[in-house]
Amino acid sequence: MSRQPLARILLLALPAVLLLACSSEPPDTHPDKPVTQRRDAFKAMLRSTEPMNTMLKDRRFDADQFASLAEQLAAKRDAPWKHFGPGSNYPPTKARPAVWEKPAEFERRRSEFITATDRLLAAAAARSEEQARTALAAVQDSCKACHNDFRR
């Protein structure tokens, strides 16, 4: 391969490499990594809610599997909140300062989420697709409301 085509390839690849380097978020530098821990906890909850949503969207409701996923979500639902403590509002967080400036409102949103997941557990236990659909929508609405108020 001659030097000229190689130089062209490198010249064309350089902007992409620079863009990737500039767009990466900063690392979580706190010793306890609260931003990383809460992000991981939320992702773990998504691994329960996404399959439930897909099951209902595809109209392939499996009451046993849905109940298992609802139980998994309930087991994980308390994990992220303890990582929003003082001193955890730093990059790479996507949380808005309102989390720390309005703790009563943030707690209200957390409580609404817990209530919604309790209702999801009850709907899953009833083995009713209609109830499951309504309850999962309420959980998702709870997540969206909190994100609207407290996430960038």
Binding-site residues for heme c sit at 143, 146-147
Report the binding-site residues: 143, 146-147
Instruction: Count CB neighbours of 122 within 10 A.
Output: 13
Residue 56's SS3 state is helix
Burial 16-46 (b: 16+ CB within 10 A, else e): eeeeeeeeeeeebeeeeebbebbbebeebbe
Do the Cβ atoms of 83 and 94 come closer than 8 Å? no
H helices within 58-102, ranges in order? 63-76, 98-101
